[in-house]
Chain A
Amino acid sequence: MSIQVNNISKTFGSFAALKNVSLTVNDGELVALLGPSGCGKTTLLRIIAGLEFPDPASGPVLFHTDDVSRQDARRRRVGFVFQHYSLFRHMNIFDNVAFGLRVRPRNVRPNKAEIKHRVESLLNLVQLERHAALYPWQLSGGQRQRVALARALAVEPKILLLDEPFGALDAKVRKELRHWLRRLHDEMAITSVFVTHDQEEALELADRVAVLNTGRIEQVGTPEEVYDHPANPFVFNFLGNVNIFHCRDKEARQQVGLAQAAAATTGEKVAAAYVRPHDIEISRAADSETIPARVVHIAAAGPVAKIQLARLDTREMVHAEITRQKYRQLNLNTGESVYIKLQNPRYFSEDYVI
C-alpha cells in the first residue's frame, strides 16, 4: 500500500518541526528518512502512524487512495516499531507478540489455536521461537528489537514504520539486523519507512532515501542519486565526509586547479568545490591541475588508508581516502610532500548556508 503525505506542517509551540513536507512512498518500497537530530524525521513518521497530528492547514495523509488524516493510530493498521522497543514488561515474549491479535474485537479475533500458530510462526521468523516464555528483561537489545518487530507484524499491517530501529544497538548487532531486515522486507514486500540519522544505514538499506533538514525534505532519491548527485551542500555534507575548496576569486580557482570552476560559477557569484575524500587523488608527479600538499597523518588500518594532508599554499586540511594497494604503491610517509588532484568536484555557490 502506498503512502502519500502532502504539504504537512507541524509546529510544537513556536518550534516548526515540519514545514510543508510532501512525500510519496510507493507500494512495497523501503524508504529511509535521513537527517540530523531535530530535523523532523521522527515527527513525520509519527504523523504517518497517526501518533501525531499535523497542523490544521496541512494537506492529507493518504494510504493508497484513502484519506486517513482523521484516523488515529488504532484505526490506521500500521505496524510501528519504537526505538527503545517499548515491549510490555509484564508480559512474556509470546504475550507481547499476541497482544495485537488478542485486543481485536471479538468478531474478527482469531481463536486461541490460530493466535498460537501465528505467534509461533512470527517468533520463528525472528528466530526467537525458543524464547517465547521469557520476559523482555531476559533478552538482549537485538532480541528485544526483533520481538518488537514480530509484535508489529502480528497484526498484518499494510505499512511498517520503524523509528531508529537500530539506534540503541551496538555496531555489530546493528549491521546484522540491518541485513536481516532487508531480507525480511524483500520476502514480505510490505511498504516500509524507517527513520535514521546514520547515512550508511540509510544508503545501504533503503530503496529510496529522503534527506531532511530543519523541517524540510532536501532531496529524495535512490541511494546512488542522493550520494552521487546531491541537490545541495547539506545533502552532500550529510551523506559522507567532504573536503571544501573555496574558490573566492579567479586566482583561487586556478590555484585549486579547477578549470571548470569558472564555468560552474555564474558571473562573479562565488562557488566552492565539494570533493569526497575518496575522490582526492594523490600522486608524486605534478601537472597543471594538481595542488601541492604535505602528508600530516596516516591511518592505514581498515579497508582504506585515510591520509590527512595540509595544502602547502593555503595550509587548509584535506582528507583523502585511497585504496590500500595505492597506498602501498605510493609508499607514503608522514611529512612528505605530494600532489593532490580533485576528481568529481561538485560546485555549490557559497551563499548557501549549511
Chain B
Amino acid sequence: MTDGKDSDTMPGITLYSRNAARTTQRNILPGFGLTLGYTLVYLSLIVLIPLAAISLAAVKIEPGQFWAAISDPRVVASYRLSFIAALAAAAINTIFGLLTAWVLVRYRFAGRKLLDAMVDLPFALPTAVAGIALTTMYAPTGWIGRLLAPLGIQIAFAPLGIVVALTFIGLPFVVRTVQPVLEDLGTETEETAASLGASRIQTFTRVIFPELLPSLLTGFALAFARALGEYGSVVFISGNMPMRTEIAPLLIMTKLEQYDYAGATAIAMVMLVLSFLLLLAINLLQRWATRSRQ
C-alpha cells in the first residue's frame, strides 16, 4: 500500500502513513500503512471495542446505583483481595522467576532442557485443572496441606491459597522475559566488574540487576495482569467465602448469574480503571529504568 492511493477506502490509516512519510522520508521497510492498518483493526475488534462496550454500559448506569454497586463492603473486600493477591503472586514470581532464569541460562546440568520446557506448563494446563490439583495438594487433608496444618498454616480455602494459584499460573512470564536478556548479557560484564574489584554482591546489585530491571518489570507487569484476571484456578482453591476469599472476577460472575448486569459492569469498570492505572505506573517505571538505553 502506498500513500494516497487508498485514501478513499481507508482515510484514517493513510493519514498516518502520510505523516510518517513526511517525518521519516522514504522508509526502506515497506508496508507501514498495511501493517498499521491491520494492527488498528485487529486491536479494535479484539480489545478496544469490547472495552469500550464496558465503559459504555457503565456510563448508562445511574450514578447512585453505580456507587452503591462498587462501594458494597463485599465488593471492596474482593478488590482488595484481588489486587493484593495478584501483586503478591507477581512479586513472588519476579524473585523466583529471576532465579529460575538464572539457573537455566548460567548453568549446564542434566535435565536443563526438560526444566526449561516445564516452565511453560502453567500456560498449557487448563486453569481449572491447576486449581483442582492445587486444592488437592494444599487442602488440610492433602499431601502438603497435611504437613502444614499442625503448624497452623492453612493454604487452601484461605487467601494464601489464592496467592499460590496465582503464582502457579504466572510463573512463565518473568522467566521468559528475563531469560533472553540474561543470555544476551553474557559473562563478560561480570568479569569486567570483577576485574575492577567489585564483589559478587556489588556485581549483582550494581551491574546485573540494573541490566535486568526493565525485563523484570515487564515480567512483573505481565504476571500481575494475568493474575488479576485469573478466575478458573482460584475458584477451586479459594473456597469463595464472601469478605474473606472472594475475588473480584468471581463476584462479577456471581452478579451475572443473578442477572445483575449493572452491578457486574460497575465492578468490571473499576477493575479496568485500576489495572490500567497500575500497568501505566509499571510502564513509566520501566521507561525510567531504560532511560539510558537507545
A86 contact from B188, B202, B292, B294, Cβ within 8 A: B188
Say whether A137 contacts B293, CB under 8 Å: yes
Q: Is B207 touching A104 in the complex (CB atoms < 8 A)?
A: no
Asked whether B46 is an interface residue with its Cβ less than 8 Å from the other chain, the reply is no
Distance in Å from the Cβ of A326 to the closest Cβ of chain B?
49
Residue of B nearest to A90 (CB): B210
A152: chain B residues at CB < 8 Å are: 195-196
1/0 per position for B195-215, CB-CB distance to A under 8 A?
111110010001100110000
Give the interface segment out of A25-33, A69-77, A334-342. A69-77
Bound CA span A154–B198, Å: 13
Q: Mark B180-198 against chain A: 1 for CB-CB distance below 8 A, else 0.
A: 0000000011011111111
How many angstroms between the C-alpha atoms of A151 and B193 in the bound complex? Answer: 10
**Do B292 and A92 touch across chains, with their CB atoms under 8 A apart?**
yes
Number of interface residues of A (CB under 8 A): 28
Which residues of chain A come closer than 8 Å to B197, judged between CB atoms?
Answer: 74, 77, 100, 103-104, 155
Contact of A82 among B192, B202, B206, B207 (CB under 8 A): B192
Knowing A74-B199, A84-B188, A99-B196, the reply to whether A137 touches B294 (Cβ < 8 A) is yes
- Indicate whether A49 reaches chain B with its CB closer than 8 angstroms: yes
From B185, which residue of chain A is reached at the shortest CB distance? A89
CB pair B293 A89 closer than 8 Å: yes
Taking a contact as CB atoms under 8 Å apart, the answer to whether A78 and B206 are in contact is: no
Q: Choose one: A51, A82, A88; the contact of B194 (CB below 8 Å).
A: A51
> Contacts A86-B188, A88-B207, A90-B210 hold; do A51 and B292 have CB atoms under 8 A apart?
no
The answer on a CB contact under 8 Å between A103 and B194 is no
Q: Considering only CB atoms, which chain B residue lies closest to A136 in the complex?
A: B292
Q: Is A327 an interface residue (CB 8 A)?
A: no
A82 touches B292 (CB 8 A): no
Residue of A nearest to B206 (CB): A103
B194 CB contacts on chain A under 8 angstroms: 51, 72-74
Complex-state Cα separation, A137 to B207, whole angstroms: 16
* Main secondary structure on B side of the interface with A: helix
B58 to chain A, nearest CB (A): 42
- The smallest beta-carbon distance between B95 and chain A, in angstroms, is 21
Q: A90-B210, A91-B292, A99-B206 are in contact. Are A155 and B188 (CB under 8 A)?
A: no
Closest approach, in angstroms, between the C-beta of A235 and any C-beta of chain B? 31
- Whole-angstrom distance between the Cβ of B87 and the nearest chain A Cβ: 26
Residues in B with CB closer than 8 Å to A80 are 191-192, 195
Q: Give 6 closest A-B pairs by Cβ, nearest first.
A: A100-B196, A80-B195, A103-B198, A73-B194, A86-B192, A90-B210
In the complex, the answer to whether A89 meets B211 with C-beta atoms within 8 Å is yes
Are B195 and A79 in contact (CB-based, < 8 A)? Answer: yes
CA distance A255 to B202 in the complex (A): 70
A135 within 8 A of B: yes
10 pairs, A vs B, C-beta closer than 8 Å? A51-B194, A82-B188, A86-B188, A86-B189, A88-B192, A99-B198, A100-B198, A103-B193, A137-B293, A152-B195
Among B196, B202, B211, contact of A90 (Cβ-Cβ < 8 Å):
B211
**CB-nearest residue of chain A relative to B187?**
A51
Residues of A within 8 A of B207 (CB): 88
Option from B188, B199, B292, B293 in Cβ contact (under 8 Å) with A103: B199
For chain B residues 146-198, which have a beta carbon within 8 Å of chain A?
Answer: 188-189, 191-198
Which residues from chain B contact A100 at a C-beta distance below 8 Å? 196-198
Alpha-carbon separation in the docked complex, A49 to B188 (Å): 13
Within 8 A of B (CB), among A130-184: 135, 137, 151-152, 154-155
Minimum CB–CB distance for A34 against chain B, Å? 23
| Besides the known contacts A51-B195, A100-B196, 16 further A-B residue pairs in the complex with CB atoms under 8 A apart | A49-B195, A51-B191, A72-B194, A73-B195, A82-B188, A86-B188, A88-B192, A89-B211, A100-B197, A103-B197, A103-B199, A103-B206, A135-B292, A137-B294, A152-B195, A152-B196
B199 near A90 with CB under 8 A, answer: no
Closest partner residue, chain B, to A154 (CB atom): B196
A137–B294 alpha-carbon span in the complex (Å): 7
Closest A residue by C-beta to B205: A103
Residue of A nearest to B201 (CB): A103
Residues of B within 8 Å of A74, CB to CB, are 194-195, 197-199
A103 CB contacts on chain B under 8 angstroms: 193, 196-199, 202, 206
A155 vs B188: C-alpha distance when bound (angstroms) = 18
Q: Which residues on the A side are within 8 Å of B202 (C-beta)?
A: 103
CA separation between A99 and B197, bound complex, in Å? 9
Contact of A155 among B191, B196, B292 (CB under 8 A): B196
